[in-house]
Structure 1
């Protein structure tokens, strides 16, 4: 049995502040250990549950944050950019039985610790066929096309609530409780590691590959915090203006949808000025 762990950082134990996840800062260096602890706990739990292969795909920022030397020697780490399927790279290989979203967070424009969707700012909302979409929601649609179930989600308490909408059977572990975008009531790492390990062990039973599912075509809509970003985004073929600060595009599958989304966010990030956005 093979498990893929998609590991993001904003939803990790103890993380509440931008500097906690910004590569190169002292706080990021400190929080790398907490992040690695959460991921390692999931690895240990899946191995406890009977998995014989665990691949971790780094999904945060530069995708070079986890401390390889602290991970269980039976796991493997896919680290670095750039990847065809970004946060869920590896699922397309056809040998993954279940996926875990570790360290995830809520989406842009919603409540949640460090809530955002792909970009830390600029994007104020994302919808798929009219439904508000977090990164977890988007990635769940992608992996469903490969018949891979989401079996575990960790993050703040609101992230666990969000997961009920896209992975209702998955085990969920809240490592902190939302207070504001930059504040949370945090559990200590010894406690969260035990909770994640126990949940991952239970989640292993859910890792049963399913028939590939696609609800496409999908209509994806993005809203930005500044009008000029619409002009930037519509450089991407197929992306059309949809109101003063919105764009929309349609993709036949979420495989293509997430790749277009990645292209849009890359172009938009390059169009943001330091002072005026």
Structure 2
């Protein structure tokens, strides 16, 4: 046998000897809110002061774990979960799937999207809700609840829409969202091909028709598996500029917000600003709706 032939044979044997379980690295980011979680249907479930908050935390982690299992089933090798509701300390480390890294606490530069960068391959939104001003949608609001409307480059968005614009900046696809039927449909404004799992049907902003929990968790896991398995990254989308318009319920906040030189007062309740990069715009949006105290 010639020397080149021996070399080819040796390389072939090495390839066969490689571990069959080896797989390409695949990072998945999961942002988990509470209002759109399976079974959640009351104000007394959404904050630590509520009588049923403990129940809601359990419902929240069960939905999250279903998405996590599905992500790993779909080929994820690394999963990061960001607790994205209220205090952002709702998910208990001892209850969540032990394979994930958990981002906790609300004092974050990027809030619901803290920790995201271009190294991720797919994003899943769990437990999301309708935006402020939606006539039908369980717990419809945007951010901390002080906003009446949020627009980015002329498009009215909620939390899911704002987060999807940031995801596009990094070139990471939002492949799946769970929540009520209104939240899922609103997400398709910014991510037309997103896979949606409707865990409940909104009758109005409070009343809701709940699906059986065993069904929603099974559907979340299967959808996450299929969404992650078929995820394809896109080139990062960097627009020339990002113009943000924020309308508040209370005119006091816009008055204070103009302390930032680039923030312009449009009406007594509306401000506007422009940034060249979406991460910079996102950080300022978060400061304006969360960290200005009018009490």
User: Given the two structures, how large is their TM-score scaled by the length of structure 1?
Assistant: 0.93
For structure 1, which segment, 101-110 or 228-237, has the greater mean C-alpha deviation from structure 2 after superposition?
Answer: 228-237
The 1:241/1:45 distance shift into structure 2, 3 A limit, reads same
Match of 1:200 among 209, 224, 232: 224
Contact 2:126 2:179 in 1 (8 A): yes
Contact 1:171 1:202 in 2 (8 A): no
Q: Give me the CA root mean square deviation.
A: 1.4
The alpha carbon displacement at 1:199 in A equals 0.5
Number of equivalenced pairs? 269
The 1:207/1:83 distance shift into structure 2, 3 A limit, reads farther
2:172 aligned partner: 148
User: Within 2, Cα distance between the matches of 1:26 and 1:69?
Assistant: 22
User: Within 1, Cα distance between the matches of 2:159 and 2:180?
Assistant: 14
User: Within 2, Cα distance between the matches of 1:104 and 1:131?
Assistant: 19
Superposed CA deviations along residues 229-274 of structure 1, whole A, max 9, x for unmatched, are 2212222331111112111111112111110101111344x11x4x
User: Within 1, Cα distance between the matches of 2:258 and 2:36?
Assistant: 31
* Consecutive aligned runs of 4 or more in structure 1 exceeding 4 Å deviation: none
2:192 matches 1:168: yes
**Superposed counterparts of 1:31-50, under 5 Å:** 31-50=56-75
The alpha carbon displacement at 1:225 in A equals 1.7
Structure 1 unpaired stretches of 5+: none
For structure 1, which segment, 173-182 or 62-71, has the greater mean C-alpha deviation from structure 2 after superposition?
Answer: 62-71
The alpha carbon displacement at 1:105 in A equals 0.9
**Superposed counterparts of 1:55-94, under 5 Å:** 55-92=80-117, 94=118
Contact 2:148 2:247 in 1 (8 A): yes
Which entry has the higher C-alpha Rg, 1 or 2? 2
User: Within 2, Cα distance between the matches of 1:168 and 1:68?
Assistant: 33
Structure 2 unpaired stretches of 5+: 1-25
